[in-house]
Amino acid sequence: GESVGLHLPTLSVQEGDNSIINCAYSNSASDYFIWYKQESGKGPQFIIDIRSNMDKRQGQRVTVLLNKTVKHLSLQIAATQPGDSAVYFCAENIRRGGADGLTFGKGTHLIIQP
C-alpha cells in the first residue's frame, strides 16, 4: 500500500549546525503532514505540521517544507542543540480534523555531536 518513508536512518550533525531531515510520501490524497520527535522511552511529540495547500511553514527553530510535485517533505532544524537528539518521524493524514489514524514514515535518528 501507499506509505510514507524517510531517506536516511541516521543523521549526525555538530551542535550549532543546521540539520535537514527528509521524507518521501506516496499518497497523493494526503492533505495534512506532521513531524514528530520521539525521545528514547517516550511517546511521539508534535513538532510542526503543514497542510497540502502550503509550501512552507515556520516554527521556533524549525521549518517544514512541502513539495507536492515530487511528494517530498523536509524538516529543517536551525542551530541544533543537544536536546534535539531524538528520532524524527514524518506522518501523514488524509484529512486534517478527522479521527483518522496517522501513517508514519520510517524514523531518522538525529545525533547531535558536541
Partner 1 sequence: AAGVIQSPRHLIKEKRETATLKCYPIPRHDTVYWYQQGPGQDPQFLISFYEKMQSDKGSIPDRFSAQQFSDYHSELNMSSLELGDSALYFCASSSREALNNEQFFGPGTRLTVL
Q: Does the protein bind partner 1 through residue 98 (CB under 8 A)?
A: yes
101 binds partner 1 (CB under 8 A): yes
Residue type, 107: G
User: 73 near 51, Cβ under 8 Å?
Assistant: no
Paired strand residues for 56: 65
Q: Secondary structure of 58-90 in the HEC alphabet?
A: ECCCEEEEEECCCCEEEEEECCCCHHHCEEEEE
Q: From the CB of 42, what's the least distance to partner 1, in Å?
A: 6
**Residue 97 binding partner 1, by CB under 8 A:** yes
Binding mask 20-39 for partner 1 (x = CB under 8 A): ------------x-x-x---
- Which residues of this protein are in contact with partner 1, per CB under 8 A? 32, 34, 36, 41-46, 49, 89, 96-107
